[in-house]
Amino acid sequence: MKITICQLNPTVGDVEGNAKKITGMLAQTKAQRPDLIIFPELFLTGYPPRDLLEKEWFIQRCSAAIRELTEASRDYPETGILFGAPTTTGRDTGKGLFNSAVLVHNGKVTCRHKTLLPSYDVFDEARYFDPADSVGLVDFKGEKLGITICEDAWNHPDLWPKRKPYDYDPAADLAKMGATLLINISASPFEAGKERTRFELIGRHAQKHGLPFIYVNQIGGNDELVFDGRSFGVDKNGQMAWSLPAFQEDVVTIDSSLPGKPAEPPVHDEIESIYLALRLGVRDYFRKCGFNRAVVGLSGGIDSAVVAAVAAEALGPENVLGITMPSPFSSQGSVDDSRKLAGKLGIELEEISITEIYEKYLEILEPHFEGRTPDIAEENIQARIRGNILMAFSNKFGHLVLTTGNKSELAVGYCTLYGDMSGGLAVISDLPKTTVYRLADHINREREVIPRVIITKAPSAELRTGQKDQDTLPPYDVLDRILEGNLEDGLSIDQLVGQGLERETVEWVVRTVRQNEYKRRQAAPGIKVTGKAFGGGRRMPIAARY
């Protein structure tokens, strides 16, 4: 069977625009006369549509688009069109919606519905959808298609060491029914290393059932999630027959009967994948939200340098404004380093001293703070002044403020509410500090984009004389090891201590993470690149004792 794979970038909520992408692909590939053209999961709505699915007008718009695409299919009688969309169940009970794979062909519609609805981490599909009552094959052009949707294929116990597998395997049932070709349409978000898991998963299905398997994933950034594409197909032996690139739209027409070739699972350089994910996440967030320019506070440190470099690459340097805001405690080197960075990136730079504003704050507060030693209150005033200046530029010129805090800082609250946390998108909030250093080196792999002095200097917030991050925090390699074990692997204090970590340090980190949940609840959305990010996938209580 000749099949066209459409690895495309939908916009959440833009039903009409996404439908036009489908009809556009039909016209573009008409000369090739494919038997089937395939789009990703929930392509008509974009993924994830979240509470838009609870709006009756939105579902009506989806139903109308399906009818229009069904009618349009009459103009392409040789081609079946398979795409993801919500469809109504027709029942008065339950959620009333299925997450469906819709196949339209020559004016007729056939639907297959998602059976396994993920409700973990960033997924909450049981909130919106009912599971399919059963699975069934689709007879199409001499093939018996076993169509599954994303999670329906994610059911192998060896791939889920941290949670229990499902008690049902839709792909196995479809194979028993006599499927000749397995297809999975997907909206699988990026996280570092996930491409290996996908390949192993789909390959095992193919080997187990002796069937070729096609996997079609979307690409694009939608809020905190980035979808990396990497669609591929394997033959009945689980060997790679074809694959599409990461983080970019691509369309290819393949022959489903072609054998694959022995190959290792596709493994991409982790830090390069993270960089591409951040770049795409920033670019799509701006494009889909209607922003054109970014403003970044440049401290002369590595975090703001990496954010500015990613933004310049994603948006173009002409669309990035850096602002350096020295205080009485800022070193001249930090200002000079910010200037060097802006010059290398080719971005505009403004310098606005906050010393006079800060001194006025102290003057006004002096009678109220009399007799008290200067402490974090005075330090945070500086961060909040800077946040206000950045937001003033955002309001006046329509720029979006990019926050520059990393995951290590956000975890332990080494950040200031309404200060350096102010902004519309947290670019590196899911990058541990040690990964930020790796990313800086990657950005500099061909030439010095980020001045070397920024990478090698000791990290400092420069909110008091001689301040260094390590005066307050454990060494970042230790801190990040504890955070990864506790946040991503779910290890207890005793388990972490058993790995050779100092108990006092582990207890401080775990306690401090818990105490700062309230800050993270108020943080800007951040781009997810690890297995467990702060944001929608983490739902911990604030007013709690545990």
pLDDT tens per residue, range 455-511: 998 776 666 676 676 777 899 999 999 999 999 899 999 999 999 999 999 999 999
Average pLDDT, the chain: 93
Note the pLDDT of residue 470.
Answer: 74
Which pLDDT band holds residue 410 (cuts at 50, 70, 90)?
very high
Identity of residue 323: I
Question: Angle at CA 184, nearest 5°, toward 211 and 538?
Answer: 135
Q: Is 448 a catalytic residue?
A: no
Q: Does CATH number 3.30.1550.10 belong to domain 2-266?
A: no
Which stretch of 121-130, 219-228, 269-278, 470-479 has the lowest confidence by average pLDDT?
470-479
- Among candidate residues 417, 434, 431, 377, the one with its CA nearest the CA of residue 524: 417
Which pLDDT band holds residue 262 (cuts at 50, 70, 90)?
low
- Among candidate residues 436, 407, 437, 351, the one with its CA nearest the CA of residue 520: 407
Greater confidence, 333 or 252?
A: 252
Note the pLDDT of residue 144.
Answer: 97
Q: Which of 114, 236, 407, 433 is catalytic?
A: 114
Name residue, tokens 């591929």.
232
- Among candidate residues 414, 273, 416, 399, the one with its CA nearest the CA of residue 347: 399
Residue 72 pLDDT > 80: yes
Return residue ranges of the chain for CATH 3.40.50.620. Answer: 274-473+516-521
Contacts of 87 (CB under 8 A, 6+ apart): 62, 63, 66, 97, 98, 100, 102, 111, 113
Task: Give the mean pLDDT of 58-85.
Answer: 97
Return residue ranges of the chain for CATH 3.60.110.10. Answer: 2-266
Q: What is the pLDDT of residues 347-356, one digit of tens each?
A: 999 999 999 9
Q: Which of 6, 41, 224, 433 is catalytic?
A: 41
CA distance 413 to 109: 53
Q: What is the pLDDT of residues 139-195, one digit of tens each?
A: 999 999 999 999 999 987 666 656 677 889 999 999 999 999 999 999 999 999 888
Contacts of 114 (CB under 8 A, 6+ apart): 98, 99, 100, 101, 125, 129, 131, 132, 148, 149, 150, 151, 152
CA distance 278 to 161: 27
Which pLDDT band holds residue 449 (cuts at 50, 70, 90)?
very high
Q: Reduce the secondary structure of 330-346 to three states and give it as a string.
A: CCHHHHHHHHHHHHHHC
Return the beta strands (E) in 237-316 as ranges.
240-243, 250-255, 294-297
Q: Is 114 a catalytic residue?
A: yes
Token pair of 546 as six digits: 């545990």
Pairing verdict, β 294-297 and 320-324: parallel
Note the pLDDT of residue 256.
Answer: 84
Which of the listed CATH numbers 3.90.1150.10, 3.30.499.10, 3.40.50.300, 3.40.50.620 matches domain 274-473+516-521? 3.40.50.620
Q: Global pTM?
A: 0.94
Task: Give the mean pLDDT of 38-65.
Answer: 97
Q: Is 150 a catalytic residue?
A: yes
- Among candidate residues 92, 96, 94, 149, the one with its CA nearest the CA of residue 123: 149
